[in-house]
Amino acid sequence: MTRDPAVSVRGLTKSYGSFDAVRGIDFDIARGETFALLGPNGAGKSTTIEILEGYRDRTGGVVEVLGTDPGVGGTAWKARLGMVLQTSAEAANASVREQLAHFARFYPSPRDVDEVIAAVGLTEKAKTRVRNLSGGQRRRLDVALGVVGRPELLFLDEPTTGFDPEARHQFWDLIRDLKRDGTTILLTTHYLDEAAQLSDRAAVIARGRLVAMGDIGELGGAAARIPIVRWRDRDGTTCTERSSTPAAVVARVSREAAGEPRDLEVIRPTLEDIYLDLVREAERPVGAVS
């Protein structure tokens, strides 16, 4: 990765009348990095991405994508981008290969069409009309259309919706290959395991603000990763205690109970646990007690 970022955002805002959808966010994405933008529905993720893609005007702030303000990016700039949107409108009467070959001609240095079809697991459906594909197969075609142009920057907006577990893992392998080729990737997903598998860094957005950002293994800080010991007391009360030395807590509780307490477990917070805690805290009404 180079010092020159693929994406630079400073003070980004977007308002619709009195409603502020995005409230002054800042972040950079390095070239060659896979960056996950996480958040609940309505948090401002899609608005932010549409501004970066040049589909939506911003209210304020400074944005550069591949060295260009996306608000004025022309055809040559757009040819350097790949996009896998949540919804798309393929030509229903074209075959998978015809559709992909048609799109490949829009780019100066496209990937081999048959290699892309194989990479998304559609080789057996290459001659099938798009209208006859299942929902999951059409989603794979969306991914193929997004990567066939050999983009410098790839936007992936909920890319594996409708994929079965095997197809998701095949897709992850494809994304890793793209990363090895130097592609910069901006990912949004509700699958936190997907973000953990693919991303170098992540940012969490809630109520239009970035509430956390960092390396995927450090998001939320060290305190968010302190293990939780949970057990059931003699009177049936569920007890919990956070500790960086959970074995010592287990030993103490076992001594006090004169044996192993009921339902004893040690929980190490996952990325999903940390994400949910960050979002709950951000969406808690001002003045509410934690």
pLDDT in tens, 103-128: 999 888 899 999 999 888 899 999 99
| Total count of residues recorded for the chain | 290
Tokens 């100066």 map to which residue? Answer: 108
Tell me the average pLDDT of the chain: 89
Q: What angle do CA 82, 22, 184 make, to 5 degrees?
A: 25
The pLDDT of residue 177 is: 86
Q: Which two tokens stand for residue 236?
A: 């049936």
Per the CB < 8 A criterion, the answer to whether 23 and 65 are in contact is no
Residue 30 shares a structural domain with residue 160: yes
The pLDDT of residue 289 is: 44
Residue 172 shares a structural domain with residue 276: no
Residue 137 shares a structural domain with residue 191: yes
Q: What angle do CA 80, 60, 21 make, to 5 degrees?
A: 90
The pLDDT of residue 87 is: 65
Helix (H, G, I), strand (E, B) or coil at 95: strand
Average pLDDT over residues 182-186: 94
Residue 75 included in any domain: yes
Residue 190 shares a structural domain with residue 251: no
Q: For residue 183, is pLDDT > 50?
A: yes
Name residues whose C-beta falls within 8 Å of residue 230's C-beta, 6 or more positions apart in sequence.
238, 239, 240, 263, 264, 265, 266, 267
Return d(Cα 266, Cα 231) in angstroms, integer.
9
Identify the weakest region by mean pLDDT among 1-5, 110-114, 246-250.
1-5
DSSP letter, residue 288: -
Residue 167 shares a structural domain with residue 251: no
**Residue range of the domain that includes 250:** 222-283
Q: For residue 234, is pLDDT > 50?
A: yes
Identify the weakest region by mean pLDDT among 78-82, 90-94, 257-261.
90-94
The pLDDT of residue 88 is: 63
Residue 65 shares a structural domain with residue 183: yes
Residue 16 shares a structural domain with residue 115: yes
The pLDDT of residue 199 is: 95
73-83: per-residue pLDDT in tens? 999 999 999 99
Residue 202 included in any domain: yes
Return d(Cα 85, Cα 159) in angstroms, integer.
7
pLDDT band at 286 (very low <50, low <70, confident <90, very high): low
Return d(Cα 78, Cα 55) in angstroms, integer.
11
Residue 40 shares a structural domain with residue 88: yes
Looking at the structure of the chain, the number of domains it has is 2
Residue 27 shares a structural domain with residue 124: yes
CA distances from 268 to 12, 200, 226, 275 (A): 35, 21, 7, 14
The pLDDT of residue 8 is: 97
Q: For residue 287, is pLDDT > 60?
A: no
